[in-house]
């Protein structure tokens, strides 16, 4: 048993070592990818109850010539474990605000890593990019995951407040996954919650799931927060999310994330229909 135990430890170490090496490799390639223009942003519509395009969420894409498409769920955590996330975060913001110049009236939602908010100069960075791109702060939403918000230090809360004082809105992403009570919501400067898609996926499965989403939505609207239902994949989920009181909708059923040219076309088409 002792021997087996020792072997097990060795295997574990070897795995950790190769995982570490792999992360280092990805990190190096990501650094190069920024310079080589291998990164791109796709945009997913966020619609109002009447199907109006209200906002778009910018989602990072990495097309590596050697590895193909790499998911942000894989490489963002690697960037977060190094200072690379700051450079990447600034690149994303600048690109999103530049692209959004072609989407008049729509808000643009940009994901921000909690690590970016640990830096004291993050507020200056956002202000500088807004100025360089001549983008109105009132059309920018910064998405922060709920789990990051729960762990926000007083410094991070202060930075969120400064961003909000500039007119930027703050959304809590993947809401419900870091759940540990609502008290922190009273202290955090936020405008929107995005109910995690795992809850939306269960809508209609049982009365409990519906009641849970309804309760989140009514609490949020009582606090005058917007409520986005994320990850809507079926018409039934759309109807139930609406019945539960969500006021914004996002998911494959409505539209997948798409390249800039496609979202601009969709947006222009919607404007023509209104005119
Ligand atoms: P997120 O911010 O919660 O973004 C939503 C994710 O759900 C996106 O995955 C989107 O493509 C996917 N999604 C949208 N609708 C549906 C649906 O109906 N069904 C399903 N199954 N999925 C749907 P994606 O693009 O792979 O991004 C994954 C995560 O990576 C994001 O989750 C976000 O946390 C992170 N991420 C992406 N871009 C950035 C970025 O520029 N900066 C930072 N810090 N994180 C980013
Ligand atoms: Mg998001
Ligand atoms: Mg999300
Ligand atoms: Mg997510």
Residue 208: its pLDDT value, please? Answer: 87
Q: Are 123 and 157 in contact (CB under 8 A)?
A: no
Q: Rounded CA gap, 26 and 38, in Å?
A: 13
Residue 11: its pLDDT value, please? Answer: 67
4-18, 56-70, 92-106: segment of lowest average pLDDT: 4-18
Q: Are 82 and 117 in contact (CB under 8 A)?
A: no
Round the average pLDDT of the chain to a whole number and report it. Answer: 91
- 116 CA: nearest ligand 1 atom: 44
The residue ranges of DSSP E strands in 21-168, in sequence order, are 39-47, 53-64, 68-70, 107-111, 140-145
Residue 1: its pLDDT value, please? Answer: 46
Of 233 and 8, which is predicted with more confidence? 233
User: Which residue's CA is the closest to the ligand 1 atom numbered 25?
Assistant: 59
Name 12's Cβ contacts closer than 8 Å, sequence gap at least 6.
none
Question: pLDDT tens, 167-198?
Answer: 999 999 999 887 667 778 888 899 999 999 99
3-state secondary structure of 54: strand
Residue 4: its pLDDT value, please? Answer: 52
Say whether pLDDT at 83 is over 80: yes
Q: Tell me the ipTM for this assembly.
A: 0.98
Name 77's Cβ contacts closer than 8 Å, sequence gap at least 6.
none
Residue 209: its pLDDT value, please? Answer: 86
Nearest ligand to the CA of 72 is 1
Q: Are 48 and 54 in contact (CB under 8 A)?
A: yes
List pocket residues of ligand 1, CB cut-off 6 Å: 44, 59-60, 71-73, 76, 92, 111-113, 143, 173-174, 197, 231-233, 251-252, 257
Q: Which helix (H) or strand (E) holds 227?
A: strand 226-229
Q: What is the distance in A from the centroid of ligand 3 to the CA of 271?
A: 27
* Confidence label for 275 from pLDDT (cuts 50, 70 and 90): low
Nearest ligand to the CA of 195 is 3
Average pLDDT over residues 270-274: 73
Q: What is the distance in A from the centroid of ligand 2 to the CA of 9?
A: 38
User: Which residue's CA is the closest to the ligand 1 atom numbered 2?
Assistant: 111
Question: pLDDT tens, 116-146?
Answer: 999 999 999 999 999 999 999 999 999 999 8
Question: pLDDT tens, 191-247?
Answer: 999 999 999 999 988 888 899 899 999 999 999 999 999 999 999 999 999 999 999
Distances (CA, A) of 84 to 90, 130, 210, 225: 10, 21, 40, 32
Q: What is the distance in A from the centroid of ligand 3 to the CA of 198?
A: 10
Q: What is the distance in A from the centroid of ligand 4 to the CA of 143?
A: 10
Of 3 and 35, which is predicted with more confidence? 35
26-30, 44-48, 109-113, 245-249: segment of lowest average pLDDT: 26-30
Average pLDDT over residues 55-78: 94
Please give the full DSSP string across 82-102, using - where no structure is assigned: STHHHHHHHHHHHHHHHHGGG
Q: Which helix (H) or strand (E) holds 248?
A: strand 248-249
Q: What is the distance in A from the centroid of ligand 2 to the CA of 141?
A: 10
List the beta bridge partners of residue 169.
141
* Confidence label for 17 from pLDDT (cuts 50, 70 and 90): confident
Q: Are 217 and 244 in contact (CB under 8 A)?
A: yes
Say whether pLDDT at 8 is over 60: no
């Amino acid at each position: 048993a002792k021997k087996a135990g020792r072997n097990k430890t060795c295997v574990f170490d070897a795995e950790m070592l190769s995982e570490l090496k792999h992360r280092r490799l990805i990190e190096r390639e990501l650094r190069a990818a920024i310079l080589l223009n291998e990164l791109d942003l796709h945009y997913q519509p966020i619609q109002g109850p009447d199907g109006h395009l209200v906002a778009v969420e910018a989602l990072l894409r990495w097309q590596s010539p050697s590895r193909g498409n790499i998911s942000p769920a894989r490489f963002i955590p690697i960037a977060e474990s190094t200072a690379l996330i700051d450079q990447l975060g600034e690149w994303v913001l600048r690109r999103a605000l530049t692209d959004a110049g072609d989407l008049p009236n729509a808000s643009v939602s940009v994901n921000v890593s909690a690590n970016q908010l640990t830096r004291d100069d993050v507020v200056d960075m956002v202000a500088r990019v807004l100025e360089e791109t001549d983008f109105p702060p009132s059309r920018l939403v910064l998405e922060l995951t709920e789990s990051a918000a729960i762990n926000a230090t007083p410094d991070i809360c202060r930075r969120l407040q400064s961003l909000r004082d500039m007119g930027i809105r703050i959304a809590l992403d993947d809401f419900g996954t870091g759940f540990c009570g609502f008290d922190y919501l009273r202290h955090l400067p936020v405008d929107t919650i995005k109910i995690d898609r795992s809850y939306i996926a269960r809508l209609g499965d049982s009365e409990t799931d519906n009641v849970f989403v309804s309760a989140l939505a009514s609490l949020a609207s009582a606090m005058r927060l917007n409520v986005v239902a994320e990850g809507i994949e079926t018409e039934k989920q759309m109807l139930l999310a609406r019945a539960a009181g969500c006021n914004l909708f996002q998911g494959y059923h409505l539209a997948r994330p798409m390249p800039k040219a496609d979202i601009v076309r969709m947006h222009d088409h919607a404007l023509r229909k209104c005119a």
